[in-house]
Structure 1
Amino acid sequence: MAVDELYSAQHPLLLSNGAHDNKQNVKIRGFFVSLAKWALKLTMWVVFVAWVALFFLVPTDFGSALYDDWVDATCGTLFGETGSVLLLYSGPIAIIVLLAVPYLLISGEEQHEELLQEKRTPRFRLWTFPVLVDGPLGVVSAAELIGIILFVVFVLWAVYSYTVVNFEMLPSYGDLTLKEKRVFMLQMSAYSFGLISLSCLAFLFLPITRGSILLRLIDIPFEHATRYHIWLGNLIMFLLTLHGLCYMIVWAIRGIVPSEIIEWKSDGGANFAGVICYVFGLLIWVTTLPPVRKRYFELFFYTHQLYILFVIFLALHIGDTNFSKAAGGIFLFMLDRFLRFCQSRKTVNVISTTSFPCGTVKLVLSKPGNLPYNALSFIFLRVRELSWLQWHPFSVSSSPLDGKNHLSVLIKTVGDWTTKLSGQVSDIADESQLELPVQPHSQIMASVEGPYGHESPYHLMYEKLILVAGGSGISPFLAILSDIIHLSKEKKPGLPKHVLLVWAVKGSNELSIFSAIGMESICPFSTDELNIEIQTYVTQESEPSLEEGNLHKPTSPSLLSLAKGGSMSVLVGTGNKIWVGSYVILSTIGFVISLGLLDICYINPFSISYWWYKGLLFVACMVISIFIFGGLVVGLWCLWEKRTIAREEVKEDGEKIDMMQHNAATDKNLCQETLANSYSVRYGCRPDFREIFGSVSDGWGHVDVGVIVCGPPTLQSSVAKECRLQNLKRRKNGPIFHFNSHSFDL
């Protein structure tokens, strides 16, 4: 994406004429745009608050009465009781998503201007103030802690409310013995745990829709929202365990365990389907536990695909009416999954490869010029020669301003998959140095999902930046440095004025990674507008292993053949807003039409009443609507993509890469002469964040300081702890530290 396109909001074209009428038109247009944004935002907030309030009200007597009144008033329509519950529970999500589409469209032009305005008033923000820095949840911000508390309060409140209601129902069952009352309460408690877990399930799939309209609306990237999915998954499986365990105890007391387990009711919950559903959920849950996930990642990855069977058997277990309570989030996830599948079908050209002495490799991938991304984006990458099923996430190490027709990623060798990839890149480099044609077995055929990331380049909203990286965590910060330098050279206003990069590595051979962005272009880089300071810590070496002033040098980039593939597909949820919005809206309308046709043509005429069967048909309608109606939009989107790419000149990629290599070669000698003075390298020690942040606090004044961390959990915890400490003891005119994590941890 071009610089002018990214930052056009700062210099509106209408103002360039200087005419009074045009200025007046701009003001009027700005007023109506702001009014429309305000109205849309207010409506979405009202719908969201009402939706959350619904979950708190339903467990009470008052809420149950309202729920029954709603169902009685609406179940006589075409969609029946299922339609009533679907509209009540999943309707709010659909409304928010539909309103988010025009909101994102009209707010896109003002996005960067709003970021620049925010940085003028230093203040605390709930999302960036770390509250909990140690513990099983990792670093938790104030906003996240509020969300956690709300969920905990909801679960406790729901358990209490359902228990009170169950006690009030006891007299209606006649004279019961004490044992019968206890068994009854245990059975109703089991049912209540199921209802509560179903309410939590309504939120489970929302954080993992990678290109979700909702995540774009609140500007939370997928890699950060994944932790919410993990938290909710643990809570839901805990509740489901209580749900099943209570039922098993009741059946054991009554001596009917075998018969109840295999029972498949037609007018109620199919128990056997529920048992199968829980088994799949348990397998997923066990393999997500840190000791299993970190040691057997492939087992975790493949077992996680059982979510498909989990959803299907859940629908068979609870039927269409109850399933519709969680259908909104599941439907949005299915939309995202289908779009990702369509995007990943395209083979992407690997334009060039570079191998670094530390085992890290750099891949430059071809992308269309109209596919946007930000400096802190990431992609999922699959290499078919290595595995047809494995997808691995990598941070993008290039800025969108480096060239609109390519992006690059850095991949560190840490496992079997990355080791094989590194070996393949080395083979290509050897063939290139020997001036041999690249052999077919050495060609890298990649598939890509993404890029994903923040809706806006939030690293530009801070006047001062502290970037803390551990090992390969330097990758996204190379993109940030490149991004800021490009914009600084273009004399763009409102950019970060001081960037401090703190990088901890195990060995000095990792320092060569700096050449991935042409370190010579930023060293030294200190002007009145921008000052970049780099502090590097080599933790496992007591002294330099090379002569002073020299660096480990990577292999020269190896250019690959572009014959078999093309550029990345633009079919991505974080891409074109009009196409994404059309895809979501038309698929939603198609789902409603599919349900209506199902009722008119099949369920009502044939008096279909089996819960499990209607649940299966409900899921089938979701799938069919996405394939037919969503597939229509995807097909038109692909035609638009082909026509757009056809207008671009094919030679643009090569020119961009040649220009990058030429610029790097031009400044190479300057870098070697001044590298020792441009940044400091300390051996045999780790960063002292107390000293670093204390120095910053004393010298940077009353400003917002963005702290971005990419590295292991221990590094994040250490930095978050220091941010919290500095904020709590800050003086009146001291800086405010805003903690941001960019670490992807599956």
Structure 2
Amino acid sequence: MDDEIGVHNPLLSSHPSRRAFVRKIPLFVTLAKWILKITMWVLFISWVVFIFLFPLGSVQTFFGDWIAATDGTLFGTTGTLLLLFNGPLLVIALLSIAFLAMSGEEELPNKKKKTSQNPSFRLWTFPILVDGPFGVVSAAELIGILLFVVYTMWSVSYYAVSILSTIPGSLSLKAQSCLFLAIFGAYLASSGMFCLAFLFLPIARGSVLLRLIDIPFEHATRYHVWLGHLTMSLFTLHGLCYIATWAMEGNLLAKILEWREIGVANLAGVISLAAGLLMWVTSLPPVRKLNFELFFYTHQLYVIFIAFLAMHVGDFLFVCAAGGIFIYILDRFLRFCQSRRTVGVISAKCLPCGTVELVLAKPENLQYNALSFIFIQVRELSWLQWHPFSVSSSPLDGKYHISVLIKVLGKWTENLRGKILKNSEAEQQQSALSCTPPTTLTVSVEGPYGHEIPYHLVYEHLVLVAGGIGISPFLAVLSDIVHCVKEGRLCQVRNILIVWAVKTSNELPLLSTIDMDSVSSKLNIQTLIYVTRESGPPLEEGQVLNSALEFPPRCPPRPKRCGMSVLVGSGDNLWSGLYLISSTVGLVIILSLLDVLYINPYRISAWWYKGLLLLLCMVASVVVFGGLAVGLWHLWERKFSAQDQCEDDTSDVYKAEHEETVGRSDSNEHRENLSKLTGIRYGARPNFKEIFGTISKDWGTVDAGVIVCGPPSFEASVAKEIRSHNLRRQRDDPIFHFNSHSFDL
């Protein structure tokens, strides 16, 4: 939605088969996109301005008049507020489907070449804050943070001043204090509800809204964390205000246990706040890093938090945040449907460097980009744990498979490695020539998730900075670029610098799997590798470099099932649009039927009950009406991915992969690939000031994309140097654009 954000514009189709040629876009398509874009911006700005100005007396008057004018209608006050607070968000979501469908037909325009001659700063790729509690923060993210801070300070201060001006001076100090705290606590809850309206949007992994602005889930997660701290701070202060009021009045316990029919249900609010506080405390960095499973499992209390919040405030107030929660329910149900399928495991290998490689079957129409990631569940290890991993294969590597590299670092990954080794030993004992399948890894997948466009292809000059297993997504990037160059597809990249820091040299063979020699005449590729915990090369360096490629040749098994479901993977605008539309229409139908057949005839007036009914209607509309669309989607998927065809097609892929694996172990060209293209420094860490200084002299005035994947401290070091360079750059120096590919729940 923002033309000023270079890598966030849908310049490229997400489907790899559409990247080969440039073609002119019809004028009516361009015009329609501009109309949609302007309409979405107007709706979004109007929605945000209304929320920002809500504390004003004039807005409150308009709010009251709106409610009075619609009282007694079919949907009543609830329907009116649902339309006022959530209508713009849902309309934007619906319009974004059409916008993405039109953008999917575009190709990379020729005029993109001009960016090399006229480099410019971009808000999303300019790091401003690199140290501190927020991590690396871009200029655009800083603007968003400041807007939320300003809104919070403005609303809280305005409410406080307005309350003080209306409290009668004739009351005693105690009575004035109680009245102030009660009213101020209610206003804090109002501000918290508006923050809650945004809280669930960043964690809707496959949300069409995230696809629209091209912010992948791994980046949006941090926004959820920031909003979570702000929301829980407001709700906690809200609760403390009322606790202090009740304590001064001497009826604390009675008020806490109170559950009123008309008005807020205090006990429901206490339960909701307790669940929220438990989630909040266990999500703090010290607790999360010490015991991630505790954080993960307590975070499932969001169901309790939302359900009892709806009963606490009733439908009248719950609608303020219902839109964001509804979009999250849409995403969660779709992910649930996708994750029920068992995915075929083509191969599972334990590499000598302590890394596991999984190759999974996928259908041809599953779309993803090189910088994507997936969530994996292995049922033999845990039915509850889902772990995110970057994709290490390019979508151009093959139509029917996707691969990931998993570094053995924790208990779950160690158990996975042990399971694979145990299966391998069992196979070898049966027969050295047998082609029996492994004793099963039952794998389920969610995703793939990632950028809507392969933004690494829009830069002519690319710097890939990896720490340890952070090289995994860059293997996919390099493979993607190599395929584009070999096949004559449109690709802007001409210069690539790879900076890789590893602890020991046994990880180095991972990089040698990419055949970069074949495109060395068209690409300038340089590699700097830093082995930080070794003072010199091993005595038999050649064996170390090749050890990861020496796999015992065997016949790869054919999986019993086809690849992962396409329900969540970035891609099908038609079916995802029908799913969103049917669920939204279903919500309107269920609410109208509920009012006509139940609430109005039986004169249902309890706030807590109507709040619970509203939440149940949201869930039912997604499960029933959205489930119907998902069922048809699944039937359509089965029609075009029949089981027999899937097995026939994938068997050819397995054979090709087998031949490729055997060929790799016997190819001197691949064995010498790493030593030709890399400069390895032992006992040293990357000096980013020196590296970026050298690039500035060699590349000149260009836009240089920098993609970083590594630990937070490693990422901060790169961002700090980019910020320093961009602030003091000379006229002939490049502008570095910071892009992070690190993921931290």
Letter in 2 for 1:287: T
Letter in 1 for 2:370: A
The answer for the alignment partner of 2:4 in structure 1 is none
Q: How many angstroms apart in 1 are the aligned matches of 2:44 and 2:189?
A: 23
The answer for the alignment partner of 1:618 in structure 2 is 614
Q: How many angstroms apart in 2 are the aligned matches of 1:148 and 1:465?
A: 29
Q: How many angstroms apart in 2 are the aligned matches of 1:230 and 1:262?
A: 31
Residue of 535, 541, 549 corresponding to 1:542 = 535
TM superposition shift of 1:570: 1.1
Q: Which runs of 5+ in 1 are unaligned?
A: 16-25
Letter in 1 for 2:464: L
- Residues 197-239 of structure 1 show CA distances to partners (whole Å, capped at 9, x for unaligned) of 1110000000000000000000000011000000000111111
The answer for the alignment partner of 1:23 in structure 2 is none
Residue of 302, 311, 328 corresponding to 1:307 = 302
SS at match of 1:325: helix
Residue of 21, 42, 48 corresponding to 1:11 = 21
Structure 1 pair 3/457, CA: closer, same or farther in 2 (3 Å)?
closer
The answer for the alignment partner of 1:137 in structure 2 is 134
Q: Does 1:526 align with 2:536?
A: no
Within-5 A mapping of 1:129-208: 129-171=126-168, 175-208=170-203
TM superposition shift of 1:552: 4.9
Structure 1 pair 592/569, CA: closer, same or farther in 2 (3 Å)?
same
Q: How many angstroms apart in 1 are the aligned matches of 2:442 and 2:742?
A: 27
Contact 2:558 2:651 in 1 (8 A): no
Residue of 78, 83, 90 corresponding to 1:87 = 83
Structure 1 pair 650/127, CA: closer, same or farther in 2 (3 Å)?
same
The answer for the alignment partner of 2:327 in structure 1 is 332
The answer for the alignment partner of 1:730 in structure 2 is 729
Letter in 2 for 1:351: I
Residue of 350, 355, 358 corresponding to 2:350 = 355
Contact 1:116 1:494 in 2 (8 A): no
TM superposition shift of 1:574: 2.2
Structure 1 pair 522/599, CA: closer, same or farther in 2 (3 Å)?
same
Contact 2:345 2:559 in 1 (8 A): no
TM superposition shift of 1:656: 2.6
The answer for the alignment partner of 1:407 in structure 2 is 402
The answer for the alignment partner of 1:594 in structure 2 is 590
Q: How many angstroms apart in 2 are the aligned matches of 1:571 and 1:4?
A: 15
Q: How many angstroms apart in 2 are the aligned matches of 1:449 and 1:645?
A: 19
Contact 1:186 1:250 in 2 (8 A): yes
Contact 1:461 1:495 in 2 (8 A): yes
The answer for the alignment partner of 2:7 in structure 1 is none
TM superposition shift of 1:457: 0.4
Q: Does 1:639 align with 2:632?
A: no
Q: How many angstroms apart in 1 are the aligned matches of 2:83 and 2:15?
A: 40
Q: How many angstroms apart in 2 are the aligned matches of 1:539 and 1:570?
A: 41
Structure 1 pair 221/256, CA: closer, same or farther in 2 (3 Å)?
same
Q: How many angstroms apart in 2 are the aligned matches of 1:5 and 1:309?
A: 39
Contact 2:496 2:524 in 1 (8 A): yes
Residue of 123, 139, 151 corresponding to 2:120 = 123
TM superposition shift of 1:85: 1.0
The answer for the alignment partner of 2:744 in structure 1 is 745
Residue of 431, 439, 442 corresponding to 1:442 = 439
Q: How many angstroms apart in 2 are the aligned matches of 1:706 and 1:415?
A: 32
Q: Does 1:36 align with 2:32?
A: yes
- Residues 687-742 of structure 1 show CA distances to partners (whole Å, capped at 9, x for unaligned) of 11011000001110111111001110001100000110111111112111000000
SS at match of 2:499: strand
Q: How many angstroms apart in 2 are the aligned matches of 1:439 and 1:729?
A: 62
Within-5 A mapping of 1:548-559: 548-550=541-543, 551-554=545-548, 555-556=551-552
Q: How many angstroms apart in 2 are the aligned matches of 1:215 and 1:166?
A: 39
TM superposition shift of 1:94: 0.3
TM superposition shift of 1:381: 0.2
Structure 1 pair 51/369, CA: closer, same or farther in 2 (3 Å)?
same
SS at match of 2:561: coil
TM superposition shift of 1:652: 2.3
SS at match of 1:365: strand
Q: Which runs of 5+ in 2 are unaligned?
A: 1-11
SS at match of 1:208: coil
Letter in 1 for 2:422: D
Moved more, 350-359 or 661-670: 661-670
SS at match of 2:681: strand
Moved more, 72-81 or 286-295: 72-81
Structure 1 pair 211/111, CA: closer, same or farther in 2 (3 Å)?
farther
Within-5 A mapping of 1:379-458: 379-434=374-429, 435=431, 442-458=439-455
Q: How many angstroms apart in 1 are the aligned matches of 2:580 and 2:438?
A: 40
The answer for the alignment partner of 1:292 in structure 2 is 287
SS at match of 1:347: coil
SS at match of 1:581: helix
Q: How many angstroms apart in 1 are the aligned matches of 2:13 and 2:264?
A: 57
Q: Percent identity?
A: 55
- Residues 297-340 of structure 1 show CA distances to partners (whole Å, capped at 9, x for unaligned) of 11111111111111100001000111111000000000000000
Letter in 2 for 1:256: N
TM superposition shift of 1:654: 3.1
TM superposition shift of 1:114: 8.1
- Residues 58-101 of structure 1 show CA distances to partners (whole Å, capped at 9, x for unaligned) of 11111111211222222332111111111111111101001101
- Residues 585-618 of structure 1 show CA distances to partners (whole Å, capped at 9, x for unaligned) of 1101100111111000000111100000001100
Letter in 1 for 2:81: V
The answer for the alignment partner of 2:5 in structure 1 is none
Q: How many angstroms apart in 2 are the aligned matches of 1:72 and 1:299?
A: 47
Structure 1 pair 649/389, CA: closer, same or farther in 2 (3 Å)?
closer
Within-5 A mapping of 1:492-511: 492-511=489-508
Letter in 2 for 1:93: L
Q: Does 1:570 align with 2:566?
A: yes
Letter in 2 for 1:136: P
Residue of 451, 456, 460 corresponding to 2:457 = 460
Contact 1:509 1:552 in 2 (8 A): no
Structure 1 pair 514/428, CA: closer, same or farther in 2 (3 Å)?
farther
Q: How many angstroms apart in 2 are the aligned matches of 1:673 and 1:615?
A: 67
TM superposition shift of 1:440: 8.6
TM superposition shift of 1:535: 1.1
SS at match of 2:462: strand
Within-5 A mapping of 1:220-259: 220-259=215-254
Q: How many angstroms apart in 1 are the aligned matches of 2:268 and 2:690?
A: 59
Structure 1 pair 650/141, CA: closer, same or farther in 2 (3 Å)?
same
Structure 1 pair 85/613, CA: closer, same or farther in 2 (3 Å)?
same
SS at match of 1:305: helix
Q: What value does the CA root-mean-square deviation take over the aligned residues?
A: 2.1
SS at match of 2:529: strand
SS at match of 2:488: coil
Q: How many angstroms apart in 1 are the aligned matches of 2:13 and 2:303?
A: 42
Q: How many angstroms apart in 2 are the aligned matches of 1:416 and 1:463?
A: 41
Residue of 463, 474, 486 corresponding to 2:483 = 486
TM superposition shift of 1:425: 1.5
Within-5 A mapping of 1:73-112: 73-112=69-108
Q: How many angstroms apart in 2 are the aligned matches of 1:493 and 1:390?
A: 40
Contact 1:339 1:573 in 2 (8 A): no
SS at match of 1:49: helix
Structure 1 pair 438/307, CA: closer, same or farther in 2 (3 Å)?
farther
The answer for the alignment partner of 2:693 in structure 1 is 694
Q: How many angstroms apart in 2 are the aligned matches of 1:135 and 1:649?
A: 50
Letter in 2 for 1:110: E
TM superposition shift of 1:157: 0.6
Letter in 2 for 1:707: V
